[in-house]
Amino acid sequence: MDHFDRLVAEGEAYLEELCLRGQEESLTLEFKTSEDVKSRKLSRIDRRNIGKELSAFSNSIGGVLIWGVGTEKGPEGLDRAKYLAPIANIRKIYADVIEYSKDYLSPRNEDVEVEICESRNDSAFGYFFVRVGRSERELCPNLGDAA
């Protein structure tokens, strides 16, 4: 079972496990936090970061973006999962990410899947995960609305 499948199956418990073991980022795994976790929408910086990650994964071997996990530098200089940073208004953010993911890349990568899990402490907060498949075409982020 890959990271995405475990995230969907186990939710926040799996995120806690990743933080406890200090899971390092890799070519196929990226952690991000929102610019403002209490905001009711994605900021331009957040949208730009999502677009860049979708592009990077699409143009390589694919991967999983986990949004709502903060990082620290590990001893080898790689970012690793450190703490949970659940996002406010997760259902609205989820709808926005679904909509934005259609327009982030030019041309579009049809192999993008987005899921969320709510925080056990407050169901208005949560995390989103994006699985991005490798594209056969070179894709670029469409940063027009994110600038």
Question: Domains of the chain by range and CATH?
Answer: 3-140 (3.30.950.30)
pLDDT for 138 equals 67
Q: Whole-angstrom Cα distance, residue 129 to residue 30?
A: 10
Nearest-10 Cα torsion for 51, 62, 59, 33: 30
pLDDT for 146 equals 47
Intervals of the chain under pLDDT 70: 37, 138-147
- Three-state DSSP class for residue 48: helix
Please, are residues 20 and 147 in contact by the beta-carbon 8 Å criterion?
no
Q: Whole-angstrom Cα distance, residue 43 to residue 49?
A: 10
